[in-house]
Amino acid sequence: MLSHNIPPSLCAGSCPLTNHQLPRALFSAHESRRPSCSSNPAASIQSPNSTAPSTSLTITAPDDWHLHVRDGKAMASVVPHTAQHYRRAIIMPNLTPPVTTAQAAIDYRQRILACVPPSRAPFFQPLMTCYLTDRTTPDEVEAAKEAGVVAYKLYPAGATTNSDSGVTDILKVVDTLKHMANIGMPLLMHGEVTDPSVDMFDREAVFIHTKLIPLLDQVPNLKVVMEHITTKDAAEFVASAPPNIAATVTPQHMLLNRNALFAKGLRPHNFCLPILKREKHREAVAEKATSGSPKFFLGTDSAPHPKGAKESSCGCAGMYTAPISLGLYATAFEAAGRLSNLEAFASFNGPGFYGLPPNELPNQTPASSQQEATWALRAHPGVHLQA
């Protein structure tokens, strides 16, 4: 049985780790909510069954730049949730076996498309990645680019779920990375060291100083996305780096700190990698993500697991947030007083970094898309999108 349990700390009510209230109206049909941006009538929150005047948040259709959908029956049960709310999604390649070749990426894409509901099929596009290994060659990268692969993913071996085939030493793949830089192929990095002597809460900061900075000294023009950043160190590094360095940010790392793992007991649904950090890090990540900087964009890292594997004595890492992720991001942006910056974060910054066009603007929606937009709004109360 696949776990579709949304982490309770992200759903509603008092947030035990940040000591402030999370707006319930994003996730409940029973409470009203005032408009959040009176100066911007296109950016407000709706409470579907409220007695208060109905308002809505309308943004250009967003994309998810970091997503896990697994494979097989599990994939069939989760792909519709992302397809319902996003137009494009970068698909992570850490299957068993991993997606290491152009043909494997093509085949995986077809399996994903077969899981998209017919009403969403004209609108949802999976963007494929390949898994970088010690043996990946420049020729393989070239073939992947010609096949439509949009990026390579670097997992340090053993860093997270299904990462045992990952890179053991970045120096082994420098020639391949130089070729990627030359052809404009981005590298997506799970930025943690795996040395067991390094504290779990310090692994991202250590990675930046011992792995990423030395790599960029050798390949300064490589396009790099630091995935799911969690620390003040990463947020400040990306903000001050050249334009070829960017970051994705998850909703949990904007809303939760590490107290969420232990609030009145061990909370397996709040366990993810990189692990939640101290409040000062959550604040720094949220500040940069909501700042309006084009270097930060939406990447849910939504990661489903079988219920028994998540709720166990040795539970899997990952939060499954796909069904409510847009509401979670809106909560974080509203808490920062920057709801007007949500659209750039969700809809413009990612395409800009990848050199892709944004999705259609709300006032440019073709007539044929109107029914699809309405379907999305009715299917999920909360943040309402015009596709």
Cα atoms found within 13 Å of the Cα of residue 374, Cβ hemisphere only: 5
State the DSSP code for 175. Answer: H
Picking from 225, 167, 235, 232, the residue whose alpha carbon sits closest to that of residue 202 is: 232
Q: Residue by residue, what is the 3-state secondary structure of 81-101?
A: HHHHHCCEEEECCCCCCCCCC
Catalytic residue among 63, 64, 233, 301: 301
Contact (CB, 8 A) for 340 and 41: no
Task: Name the one residue in this structure whose structure tokens are 């413009």.
Answer: 348
Position 104, amino acid: A
Longest dimension (CA), the chain: 62
3-state SS class at 54: coil
What is each CA distance from 143 to 90, 93, 153, 165, in whole angstroms? 19, 16, 16, 20
Distance between CA atoms of 203 and 69, rounded to whole angstroms?
26
Task: Name the one residue in this structure whose structure tokens are 């949220």.
Answer: 286
Is the preceding peptide bond at 274 cis, omega within 30 degrees of 0?
A: yes
3-state SS class at 204: helix
301 is catalytic: yes
What is each CA distance from 235 to 12, 202, 320, 336, in whole angstroms? 26, 14, 23, 16
Rounded to the nearest angstrom, the gap between the alpha carbon of residue 19 and the centroid of all alpha carbons in its chain is 24
Picking from 274, 263, 281, the residue whose alpha carbon sits closest to that of residue 299 is: 274
Phi first, then psi, for residue 226 (nearest 5°) are: -75, 110
Tokens of 158: 């053993």
State the DSSP code for 345. Answer: I
Q: Which residues are catalytic?
A: 301
